[in-house]
Amino acid sequence: MACTTILVGKKASYDGSTMIARTEDSQSGVFTPKEFLVVTPEDQPRHYQSVLSNFSIDLPDNPLRYTSVPDALGKDGIWGEAGINSANVAMSATETITTNARVLGADPLVKDGFGEEDMLTLVLPYIKTAREGVLRLGQLLETYGTYESNGIAFSDTEEIWWLVTIGLQDVFQTMPMLLTQTNLVSITMSLKIQTTILPHQTFETSLINIT
């Protein structure tokens, strides 16, 4: 099965809770062992170096405790993938997506930016709401760029946000209803979208139904 993300907002769940979930796929015939970790503030790195690119960054000195499900072998980097921090904010990173040549011509990918390998470690320990997750990841993408296109989910008790990366620009959406996202297609029900495009901070709201 391809990577598949399900986002359930407060208006779609029976009890008004928010839920995000995702499967992680792998190449045919390849199995990547995972492990479940609880990362304490003392264990969080203060300097981060990617394995798959030349990206490196100094991290803040006030991380929260958080969970992570990284690759057990670690040969290709951390790949934290999903977790919840001590502020009860959840993050799923990432749903691999694609784009077209016209978009990449206007906003190309960045070879020495960061990618799925890095995102959870760079963001989840430093946010206290889903909205803060979007802003932190968006600021990092504006500054350093990414070498791949991805979809990333954030949730707290009130909101779900879905962020889609391109090169140096990003599109954010709030999710009050229901979204199913795969590598290939999105299926939505009465999805009210609030879109933010960095770096110009343009906001717009629309209603989309896709089958």
In this structure, the number of other CB atoms found within 10 A of the CB of residue 51 comes to 13
* Distance separating alpha carbons of residues 8 and 104, to the nearest angstrom: 30
Q: Is the link from the previous residue into 94 a cis peptide, with omega within 30 of 0? A: yes
Query: DSSP per residue over 3-34, as a string?
Result: -EEEEE-TTTSTTS--EEEE-----TT----B
Strand boundaries in the chain, DSSP class E: 4-8, 19-22, 37-39, 47-49, 56-58, 66-68, 82-84, 90-96, 150-155, 160-165, 170-174, 178-182, 186-197, 202-210
Helix (H) or strand (E) holding 103: helix 101-106
Residue 171's closest CA among 192, 211, 141, 207?
A: 141
Report long-range pairs for 184-191 (Cβ below 8 Å, ≥24 apart).
184/2, 186/210, 187/211, 189/12
Catalytic residues: 3
